[in-house]
Amino acid sequence: MPGVIVFPGKQFITPMENIKRASITIRDELGRRVVEFEKQKKLLEAQRLRMRTEYDPEMMLEVGFCSGIENYSRHLNARPPGSRPSTLVDFFPKDFLLVIDESHPTVPQIGGMFAGDRSRKSVLVEHGFRLPSALDNRPLNFEEFQGLQNQTSISGPTLPSARSSGPRAKWSSRSSGRLDSSIHGSPSSR
């Protein structure tokens, strides 16, 4: 047999009680944000936000999802504003080993992902395209990432910054400019 495709028994796994609770908190946040915009005489932003957001809770209640549902993850998970999002790392055993190769571009990118996401979404929030809670659907910031590490092996051609290494990190250097081994291919015989 060449392969099997297994589909989930149910596509959406958020319990309906979470969706009901989220629809209330989304509407509350929308109401507060529209009032904020109106007080600042930002009527276009208030109208835009209302139009983009008003029917999302209805869609979630009726069909279990809406376009852009990820922007409501904080509401669906009942997390407080600014709290760390859940990640795949939360499902790893406590004593997992994190291996980071090519640390010179990888480690700075961890903090960069957060900063880039924050910058883009802040503009959307400021102009009424998203609720402020959309900022909480984000990558981990560097400190949160470090807090989830148990034991880490970091390798690369250059010493990582002090920020990337900690008491639980081991750094291994490899020579820069070392040639990779040659790979030769040949046709298979039938």
CATH number given to 81-174: 3.40.50.300
pLDDT value at residue 183: 59
Sign of the four-CA dihedral 77, 83, 87, 93: negative
Distance CA 17, CA 24 (A): 11
At 132 the three-state DSSP class reads helix
pLDDT tens digit sequence for 120-164: 999 999 999 999 999 999 999 999 998 888 888 887 776 655 455
169 forms beta bridges with 152
Residue stretches of the chain with pLDDT short of 70: 1, 8-12, 158-190
pLDDT value at residue 91: 87
List the structure tokens of 156: 């690369």
Distance CA 99, CA 123 (A): 35
Q: State the span(s) of the chain assigned CATH 3.40.50.300.
A: 81-174
- Decide if 52 contacts 129 (C-beta within 8 A): yes
pLDDT value at residue 141: 93
- For residue 152, the surrounding DSSP H or E stretch is strand 151-156
